[in-house]
Structure 1
Amino acid sequence: MHAWEQIQKTVDYIEEHISEEIKIETLAQLASLSQFYYQRLFCRLVKKPVNEYIKLRRLARASEALFNREEKILDIALDFGFSSHEIFTRNFKSAFGMTPEEFRSKPVRLNNYVKPQLLLNYTLVDENVPLITDGIILEITRKRITAPQYFAGLTAEEPIEQMPGGGGTGIDTLGALWDSFHAAKAGIPGIQPDGAELGVTFPGTRKGCYRYFAGAEAVPGSDSGDFTDWVLREGEYIVCHFEAEDFEHLVMDAVYKAHRYLFETWLPNHSMNVSPFAAERYPSHSPDTTSMEIWVKPV
């Protein structure tokens, strides 16, 4: 068994026993490692110490449960391994900047720590060969566009450390940006009502920051006024297509795993450099949407 398989086994165990007391000793035995080497290997592969990872996954699962207003917050805390309301509240506020009560009364999208699928770090698929793993289907292809494609929308800039899926916690500001775009979409000149939507990550104007564009297809040559324009230039692109069971899993889980696989595994193993942007292409943000694509341009 490969080292990553031993750690993945314990990651799966943690998820299945998230509401129970989880001891390092139990996890190390499951991985057939000493506690010392298990903790070193876990931190190396998952990028978090074991106990910190368990806490973050408990907070992620608890934050989802808070949407059920019929369940008491204390019961949710106990269900996900927190020994008291006070401890749950302290950890929740430290991670997200608000109490569970504040989140429940005024829900926002959160950056939660996603359960890793370590297989994606060690599996190299060929082009046009689908990979099925951990509830997602992923495939790498090439596409060529022969004419520029135009988009109009909104742009935000924030510290790289707050990037969703990067391992940090807090409020999902990109989700708020998409909400703002959809609220304004009908009034943006030139927007094509049934056109694709595009989210683009690209370099920021300040050190340690990145920018993100959220928009939709626009009629070529239209004046978008005070809104931001983005052009997907003609040429060949590497496209990572992926699917999930529903829209929430698509945008809150699968997209981060697909990004990581494309940029940390597939592109480096093909010695391929790309332009400094990644475009997430959605048919729409409808709850019925279960697939999307990440587009990058080889250089």
Structure 2
Amino acid sequence: MQAWEAIQTSIDYIEEHLKEDIKIEELAHVAALSPFYYQRLFSRLVGKPVNEYTKLRRLANAATALKNKDCRIMDIALEYRFSSHANFSRAFKGTFGITPDEYRTTPTRLNNFVKPNLMLNYVVIDEGVPLIVDDIVLEIHRKTLNTPETYLGLTAQVPISQQIPVGESTGIDIPGKLWYDFHNQKSEIANLIESDIELGASFMSKGEVGEFTYFAGSLTNFPNVNTEKFIKWELPANEYVVCYLEAPTFEELVTSCLNKAHKYLFETWLKNHKLVTQPFSAEKYFRNSSEVNCMEIWVVPIPNSSV
């Protein structure tokens, strides 16, 4: 068994026992390592100490449980091993920036720390060969866009440090909120857009350092149209590396699946192919498919001259 496989075994064990007391010695035994080496290896491969990771995964599951308003917050706190309502509230606010009560009153999308699959750090697939992991499908290939595509939508500034997977930090999901705002307003431009094809784009801001701009919008067949309220963004004609992904549900697709696909594309696949990208990436969503929840990540590859 390779080192990452041993740690993955313990990650799977943690996920199955989040509602129970979990001891380091128990996890080390599952991974067949000494507690000392287990903790060092876990932190190195996962990017978080064991106890911090376990707390973040409990909070992620607790956030899901909070959507059921029939469950008392105190009961959810105790279920996920928090000793009191106050202890749970402190941990929740420290992680997400809002209290459990505020989240339940005004639900919003959160940046949760996703359970990793370490295999994605070590397996490099060939172009056009699907990789199936954790009930999701990834496939990478090349595409040529001969004609630019124009989208109409909204933009928001996003602090890099507060966005998973880029900043590896939890909190309010600003792009998720922007999508919510766009979907509430897009009826105003329904005659100008192709509602079945949507696109989210991340690109570096011209203003504040440490921020990027996120665009959320729909494809339009009227590239020369002018609107006061909505922004135009163009996916330029170019050669692209495209990462196709699909998941069992749309919620999984735009959260954990997208997170894992981003990390795999940028930190494993492109790196192993000695490629970097132009300073933007696009997420293309296909909302007209009733049989499968799928999307694509588009990037423009550039040879890495530093390698």
Q: TM range, normalised to the smaller chain? A: over 0.9
Which amino acid is 2:92 matched to?
F
The answer to whether 1:215 aligns with 2:217 is: yes
CA shift, 1:110, in A, is: 1.0
On the 8 A contact 1:246/1:288 being kept in 2, the answer is no
Asked if structure 2 preserves the Cα contact closer than 8 Å seen for 1:154 and 1:215, the reply is yes
User: Partner of 1:173 in structure 2?
Assistant: 174
Partner-residue secondary structure (3-state), 2:9: helix
**1:123 and 2:126 are equivalent in the alignment:** no
Question: Structure 1 counterpart of 2:200, which letter?
Answer: G
SS of the aligned residue for 1:156 comes to strand
Quote the residue 2:42 is aligned against.
42
Structure 2 counterpart SS, 1:194: strand
Encode CA deviations 1:222-269: one digit per residue, 9 max, x unaligned: 223342221111122111000111011111110010000000000011
- Superposition pairs for residues 1-299 of structure 1, below 5 Å? 1-165=1-165, 166-188=167-189, 191-205=192-206, 206-218=208-220, 219-284=222-287, 290-299=293-302
TM-score by length of 1: 0.95
- Please state which structure has a larger fraction of its residues in strand: 2
The range that moved more, 245-254 or 82-91, is 82-91
Work out whether residues 246 and 292 of structure 2, in 8 Å CA contact, stay in contact via their aligned partners in 1. no
Over 3 Å counting, the alpha-carbon distance change for 1:49 and 1:87 in structure 2 is same
Determine the C-alpha separation between the residues in 1 that align with 2:218 and 2:227: 11
Q: Which runs of 5+ in 1 are unaligned?
A: none
TM-score by length of 2: 0.93
* 1:190–1:223 Cα contact (<8 Å) kept: no
After superposing the two structures, state which structure 1 stretch, 189-198 or 39-48, moved more.
189-198
* Count of residues in correspondence between the two structures: 299
Q: Identity rate of aligned residues, in percent? A: 53
Q: Secondary structure at the match of 1:116?
A: coil
- After superposition, the Cα gap between the structure-2 partners of 1:2 and 1:273, relative to the gap in structure 1 and judged at 3 Å, is same
Between 98-107 and 233-242, report the one with greater CA deviation.
98-107
Contact 1:283 1:289 in 2 (8 A): no
Letter in 1 for 2:114: V
Three-state SS of the structure 2 residue aligned to 1:81 is coil
Residue type of the alignment partner of 2:212? Y
Once the two structures are TM-superposed, the CA of residue 86 in structure 1 deviates from its matched residue by 2.1
In structure 1, what is the Cα distance between the partners aligned to 2:291 and 2:163?
25
Note if contact 2:96-2:172 (Cα within 8 Å) is conserved in structure 1: yes
Offset, 1:12 = 0.4
SS of equivalent to 1:292: strand
The one-letter code of the counterpart of 1:184 is: Q
Residue equivalent to 2:305: none
Question: What is the rounded CA distance, in whole Å, between the counterparts of 2:274 and 2:287 in structure 1?
Answer: 32
Task: Check the 8 A contact 1:247/1:287 in 2, yes or no.
Answer: no
1-side partners of 2:56 and 2:290: how far apart? Answer: 26
Q: Is the CA contact (8 Å cut-off) linking 2:247 and 2:292 kept in structure 1?
A: no
Unmatched runs of 5 consecutive residues or more in structure 2 = 303-307
2:193 partner SS: coil
**Residue 182 (structure 1) shift:** 1.3
Q: Which moved more, 1:85-94 or 1:54-63?
A: 85-94
AA of the residue aligned to 1:196: I
Distance 1:86 1:288, change over 3 A: farther
